[in-house]
Amino acid sequence: MSAVLKPRQTFRPMQEVDLDHIMGIENVVYTHPWSRGNFADSLHAGYSCWVLEEDADIIGYAVLMLAIDEAHLLNISIAKERQFQGYGRLLLQKMMDLARSHGAAHMFLEVRVSNRPAITLYEKMGFNEMAIRRKYYPGHHGREDAYLMGLAL
């Protein structure tokens, strides 16, 4: 009998050498992606930037800003071909755990009002809608509103 090895997921801090791969994902999953400079600035600012790897291949990433007793999730993304397989939940849980370990009492994020799959995930993970940020995101026909969502950690 032979055993089939399951793919192994690991988390590690994001590095500048990861940015080409990250931009490959970012440009596919978003109509208005972050720039390479946004990620580089986040790394240089000391934000908590992480990648999710499966068998050493980056399949997701997240950027978390920690300040005093709050955490703000600035970006969380899973490669298009890996979406809807539980990786978003896994990565979000990691960010929530990191926020708690750094003493954050609350975690916040913005999400496009049209991004139903992400909103559903956030709600399942305990986030609640707190407010609407009018015209927060760029869109194809003007700007799009965002929900500000929050979670007590």
Residue 27: which H helix or E strand, with range? helix 19-29
Per annotation, catalytic residue among 47, 122, 137, 147: 122
| Annotation says 137 is catalytic | no
CA separation for the pair 143, 12 (Å, rounded):
34
CA separation for the pair 100, 152 (Å, rounded):
10
| Annotation says 147 is catalytic | no
Per annotation, catalytic residue among 54, 110, 129, 136: 110
**Which among 14, 6, 87 is positioned nearest to 46, based on CA atoms?**
14
Q: Which residues are catalytic?
A: 110, 122
